[in-house]
Every structure is written in structure tokens, then in C-alpha cells.
Amino acid sequence: MPQSPSLFSADSYFSTQPPPSGLEHDISGVKEFVRRQKEKGRNVVLVTSGGTTVPLELNVVRFLDNFSAGTRGATSAEYFLKAGYAVIFMHRQFSLQPFSRHYSHSTNPFLDFLEIEPGTNMQPSSDVSDPGSMSSQICVTPNKRKDLLEVLTAYKAVHAAGTLHTLTFVTVNDYLWLLRAVSQELSVLKRKAMYYLAAAVSDFFLPRQKMSEHKIQSGKGSLHIEMDQVPKILKPMVDDWTGKDGFIVSFKLETDPALLVPKAQISLERYGHQVVIGNDLNRRKYEVVFISWKDALPPSSKGPNSDLSNPRYAESWLKIDPHDHNKEIEEDIVAELVKRHKIWITGAEASTK
Ligand code: PAZ
């Protein structure tokens, strides 16, 4: 256990912080899912989505949270499924999910689409042999049917094909343990695995050993909490958990537009993965920037960046019309990544011949 804050490496984190209780069960589900997808020869993407919490007490009353509704992850998951990928959707409990996101309780409540047919008896049937008699008298508002049918058809098709597997997390600790275990399982697919890390993960946490067991009392006036830094897990993820083969895409969220590109470049340089997608909080729904390596060299063969006049990063912006409400930027993000992933896969095949 480190003595002072901010000294956790990934190894010391996992050796001192306890795994979530459902981890083994979750991972056996993932193992089976990956086995089936491998048999079918499908590419698989792990999509992480939503914000992580940092509990302040063991009997949690208060926690810190990271901003994210889960829109990016849930929307992207749908486009990956459409592109033929199998998806492991690892999301914050109760954040948006693929398909049901279209009918979120706050922006598009599904009850508003349903109508009770005139003359329907409002009392549920007492006939136990006909439990569906009430539902047969409910219908969908005519002008909502086309959209609902489209979503429902895609949803049912994905279920029938068995290409979507869902996992949930709440705390940053749940997230880290799950991410490591899922990445290790997925690594058997080598380059056919993609990792799309859209979740908003806390940079700070309170180690279990420093947490108050009971609700923090307010008697002392102000509250001072010193948090430790969450270990930088992208490095072990790239080098160890995924066996250097996975196509890893991370996101960088900033609120100062001037920091977006430099911070994304630093992240790519530091972790040596394939793509960092930068997004500004207020413009994220209609513009993002892809930062990637300029040439095809694997990051491991690049030395330190000595020639600053010749940047080795490619910067490409993806923008859509902010007024076009029928267009989602995730469609273009996913299309671009699918293209790059294909090159990543065929590059590997070519180099093993
Ligand atoms: O979930 P959402 O659509 O509301 O937000 C998506 C996002 C901004 C959290 C995501 O695109 C992102 O940048 N995730 C990484 C955040 C980070 O830097 O930790």
C-alpha cells in the first residue's frame, strides 16, 4: 500500500483494492461471448460508456461523479453492430444503452407513444389464462410507428444474432477491474478486437483503506478529502492486457479548446495506442478530432519525438452540421474507425506472411 497519495501503479492498485463481487460471473459471460464470436469469425469491439463514481464512504451516501450521459457509447455501439461487429457494451448502470436510448425517460418518454384504444376496459383482466388481454388494447401512436418499428427491428435482429453483450459498472473500482478482465479475455482475438474507450473515468479516487466506514459527519464544518490518482491504465492495457495486438481508441474530453489537440497528442505519445479522439465538451456532438500516428510504423519502433518541426501525429477533424438533427456524428466516427481497423487487421496479416 503506497504511503503517500498518487503513487499507485496499476499493479499496486489491483493488489490493494478489492475486486467487485460480480466480477467472476461477469467474466465467465464474456468468455463465452468471445468464444462464440471467434467461432463466427466476427470482429468484436469493447465499448465503454458513461461516467464512473468515486464513493466517499464504505456505506455510500455521497460520491463524486464524472460527467457522461452515455450517449456517445450507446450510439456508437449501434453503429458498430450495424457494421457487423459484435459488441461488448460496458456501461455505467442506468446510463443510456443501444436501442432503448431512442426512448430515454427524459427526452423521449415511451409512455407518450402509447395509446389506449377507445372502449378498452381499464381494469386488468382477472382471467389468468389470458394475461395479455390488457396489452392487446394498447397501440403505438401512428406517427411514431415508423421510427419505433425501425429501432425495434434492429434490436430484435441483434438479439437473435447474439452480437450484443452488456456489462455494468458504477464505481471507478468496478470499471478498472472489469476493463482489465474484459481486455484480457478479448485479447484472444488478437487484431480482430477493438477497444473503444468512451467512458468518462475519474482521475482521482479514495483507496478503500482511507474510506470512512460510515456517513461522513458534518459537525466539523468544511470537508477536506485528499484523493489519490487513479493509475494510468492505458499503458498496461496496450502492452500487457491486450498483448499489443488490439486496436485501441481512447477519448480525451476538454473544456478549453486550446488544450484539446496537445493533450490528445500527449496521450498518444505516452501510451502508444492507435487513436485518440479529442472532443470539446460543448461541441462534442458535432465535431471531434482524430489524433493518430502519421505513418504506418508501430509506436514501439518510434524513438522519442526529437524533431518537433516534423510532427509525427496526423490530425483529422470530423464535423457534421449542428442543425441537422437526423445526423449523428457517431455514424462517421464508427465508419472511420472500421476503415482503420480493417487496415490494422490486414497489416498484421501481411506482416505474418
Ligand atoms: O456520454 P456523453 O455522450 O454524454 O459524453 C461522451 C464523452 C464526452 C464522455 C466522451 O466522448 C469522452 O470524451 N470520454 C472520455 C472522457 C475523459 O476524458 O475521461
pLDDT tens per residue, range 66-81: 999 999 999 999 999 9
Q: Which pLDDT score, from 0 to 100, does residue 201 have? A: 98
Q: What is the pLDDT of residue 310?
A: 57
Where do runs of H (alpha helix) occur along 119-203?
145-161, 172-186
Q: Which residues pair with 289 in a beta bridge?
A: 278, 317
Q: Selecting from 3.40.50.10300, 3.40.50.1460, 3.40.50.150, 2.40.40.20, what CATH number does the domain 10-101+163-215+226-352 have?
A: 3.40.50.10300
Q: Average the pLDDT over 303-315 and give the result.
A: 66
- The number of residues making up the chain comes to 353
- Mention every residue, 6+ apart, whose C-beta is less than 8 A from residue 142: none
For residue 72, report the distance from its CA to the centre of ligand 1, in Å.
7
Residue 146 C-alpha cell reads as 415508423
Distance 65 CA to ligand 1 centre (A): 13
- Rounded distance between C-alpha atoms, residue 44 and residue 338, angstroms: 11
| pLDDT value for 2 | 46
Helix (H) / strand (E) element for 169: namely: strand 164-169
Q: Which of 243, 88, 233 is nearest to 173 (CA)?
A: 233
Whether 11 shows a pLDDT value over 60: the answer reads: yes
User: How, if at all, do strands 114-116 and 138-140 pair?
Assistant: antiparallel
As a whole-number percent, the residues of the chain with pLDDT over 70 amount to: 88
Tens of pLDDT, residues 138-153: 899 999 999 999 999 9
Give the residue, 351 or 236, on which the prediction is more confident.
236
Is residue 343's pLDDT more than 70? yes
In this prediction the pTM is 0.92
Higher per-residue pLDDT: 178 or 300: 178
**Residue whose CA is closest, atom 13 of ligand 1?**
253
Q: Residue of the nearest CA to atom 16 in ligand 1?
A: 200
Query: So what's the pLDDT on residue 137?
Result: 86
The pLDDT, as a whole number, for residue 117 is 84
Q: Which residue has the cell 490530425?
A: 315
Measured in angstroms, how far is the CA atom of residue 195 from the centroid of ligand 1?
A: 15
Q: Which of 53, 284, 334, 337 to mutate to test the pocket of ligand 1 (most atoms within 8 A of CB)?
A: 284
Minimal-distance CA residue to ligand 1 atom 6? 72
Q: What is the pLDDT of residue 1?
A: 46
pLDDT at 298: 47
Rounded to whole angstroms, the Cα distance separating 334 from 77 reads 9
The complex's ipTM?
Answer: 0.99
Residue ranges lining ligand 1, Cβ < 6 Å: 68-72, 198, 200-201, 251-253, 279, 284
Does residue 136 have a pLDDT over 90? no
Work out which ligand 1 atom sits closest to the CA atom of 50. 1
Provide mean pLDDT across the span 20-39. 98
Q: Which of 314, 316, 318, 313 is nearest to 330 (CA)?
A: 318
Nearest CA to ligand 1 atom 5: 68
Q: What is the whole-number distance in angstroms between the Cα of residue 116 and the centre of ligand 1?
A: 39
Instruction: Note the pLDDT of residue 301.
Output: 47
Cα–chain center distance at 190: 20
Ligand 1 atom nearest to 70, measured from its CA: 1
Indicate the burial class of 156 (C-beta count within 10 angstroms; 0-12, 13-18, 19 or more): exposed
- Quote the ligand 1 centre to 102 CA distance (angstroms): 19
- Cβ-proximal residues to 25 (8 Å cutoff; 6+ apart), any chain: none
Average pLDDT over residues 126-133: 60
Q: At what angle do helices 145-161 and 71-82 cross, to 10 degrees?
A: 70
Q: Which residues are within 8 A (CB) of 61 and not within 5 positions of it... i.e. 6 or more apart?
A: 215, 216
* Count of CB atoms situated within 10 Å of the CB of 261: 18
Question: Candidates 89, 250, 253: which one to mutate for ligand 1, based on the most atoms within 8 Å of Cβ?
Answer: 253
The residue among 5 and 16 whose pLDDT is bigger is 16
Among 279, 285, 332, 334, the mutation site with the greatest number of ligand 1 atoms within 8 A of its Cβ is 279
The Cα–Cα gap between 125 and 131 comes to: 7
Number of neighbours of residue 300 by Cβ within 10 angstroms: 9
Q: What is the pLDDT of residue 126?
A: 63
**d(CA 254, ligand 1 centre) in Å:** 9
What is the structure's pLDDT at 219?
83
Query: Where do the structural domains in the chain lie, given as residue ranges?
Result: 10-101+163-215+226-352
